[in-house]
Each structure stands twice: as C-alpha cells, then as structure tokens.
Structure 1
C-alpha cells in the first residue's frame, strides 16, 4: 500500500497541516475565524441586557486614587464618605482606632478604603462567583488591620495630627554611585 494514500482518521499523510489550518471535526479547514473583540463585547452587553443589568458593576475598573481626573475628583470625594459611614454602621466595631474622624486627611486611609469599596462592589456584582463575598471578608480583615495600625501610628484618636514629612528622600549622589556600581558589576568579563 502506498504510504501517501494511507488514511488515518480522515487525514492522509500528504495533506498540508500548515499553521494557518485548523482541525474541525476531523476535517482540515483553510479558513481561520479570528475573534472580533467588538463582537465579543456586543455579545456580553446583550447578555447583560437579557439578565436585566443596565450596567454590570464588574465592568467598572478599580479606582486608582492618584490618577482620578480633576473633573471627577469632587464626585469621587463626595461618594466615599457615604460608603465609609455605611461601612462603620454595618460593622460597629470599626471605632476611631480603626477609622478616625479625619480619615480623609490621610492618603493611606483613603486609598485603602477606596480599594475596599471597589473590592466590595465587584464581589457583590451579579457576575461574580459565589465565593466572592468570602474573599471580600478576607480583604476587609486585612485592610481593617492596616487601618488600625496606621491610625495608631498617626495618633489621631481624639483630633487630627498631620502626618510627618517623610525623611527617607532619595540621596541623589548615593543613588548615582549605586547605579554606577551596579552597571560595573553586570558588565561581562
């Protein structure tokens, strides 16, 4: 028997299996159907519409506080205190040793609370898996611990104390020396 005509599960040895070909149901197709990102997005939006969601909160990206455009800052600032107040009401153990009255004057507190708010929003979205709420509880415990530590360090239990100016600024001369030594140590021998 001629080996070129030997048939293996519908394929002959002389068929071209180039990288542009795809196997579909035992047949070789020269066509390649690339995924159209717009079509995928349209299908996802249609599915959300069918589920009754006008906008899935999971579609919103996390908030990177330092990069909020100036035009959106007031809106972001105005939404955060209401969420923090609701959090404190839902979890009454969050006293002033965790979230001081002046939390909004401490960037570390603000960014941690924003991250926690975003995590909660995504965790309870319709499209989230059933395990998301417990993941949110774990994140909440971690952030609570950090907030407690930062509040103790800031000393803002009864009134606001401005954060100290960081004293660990980069020494430009030492940095340049380090870069030079690093470059020299990496040069091939």
Structure 2
C-alpha cells in the first residue's frame, strides 16, 4: 500500500512512465524536468536511506547521475502502473542494486562530497 507522503509528493504514477530524453530538452523544459526528478530523488534518497557517497547533493550538475536517476524513476513508475505485473517491484529492486553500484562508482570518481562540488 502506498503511504500518504508518496501521494502528497505526487509520486503515484497515473500515466504511462514518462521517459525523458535529456539531450533534447530546451532550457525551460530542463528546469521543469530537473524539478520533477528532484522530487523523486529526494523521496528515494529518504526511502532507501542513501547517503552522499551514492547520490551527492550536487547530482543535478552531473549528466551521468541525472541519466541514471531518471532511468530509475521511469522504471519505478512503470512498476506501479495499474497493469504492472506483481513481480515488477522485485525487478525494480534487483536493478536498483546494480544502479546503486554505478551511482556509487560515478560519485566516487567525481570526488564530490556532502559539502563540496567538483565540476567535471
């Protein structure tokens, strides 16, 4: 069952998963999509207790992190559609494990910390 916080944040998927092609966004749409993704990332970071070594606070400044997190959000949305398979959330968590490894590796290579952003 979905909790009230998830509903309040607008995290209940109501349409088909929304795939974002970040390369094709103009400046206005980029800001809107980053805001939307930030809402989900904040929720996921809290829900899964992810720290800055996995997702540094400056993640929106790093394309690879944005792409990975956006793909995760799309997958998560698809798992909770009305016609989703009962096993889809397990598939999400299986792939989440792999994605968290990639995020941790990228964050480590970037060298950003909780308080310091290092441009690429």
Structure 2 residue 83 is the aligned partner of structure 1 residue 127: yes
- Displaced runs of 4+ in structure 1, greater than 6 A? none
Q: CA deviation at 1:56?
A: 4.9
Name stretches of at least 5 consecutive residues in structure 2 with no aligned partner: 1-12
- Residues of 2 paired with 1:101 and 1:56: CA distance? 28
TM-score normalised per structure 2: 0.81
- Aligned residue number for residue 118 of structure 1: 74
Answer with 100-109 or 75-84: which moved more. 75-84
Quick check: which one's strand share is greater?
Answer: 1
Contact 2:22-2:30 at 8 Å conserved across structures: no
Give aligned pairs, total: 107
Choose 1 or 2 for highest CA Rg: 1
The match for 1:57 among 12, 15, 23 is 15
- Residues of 1 paired with 2:86 and 2:25: CA distance? 31
Greater relative contact order structure (CA < 8 Å, 6+ sep): 2
Q: CA deviation at 1:78?
A: 1.2
Quick check: which one's helix share is greater?
Answer: 2
TM-score normalised per structure 1: 0.53
Q: CA deviation at 1:116?
A: 0.3
- Aligned residue number for residue 61 of structure 2: 105
Name stretches of at least 5 consecutive residues in structure 1 with no aligned partner: 1-54, 164-189
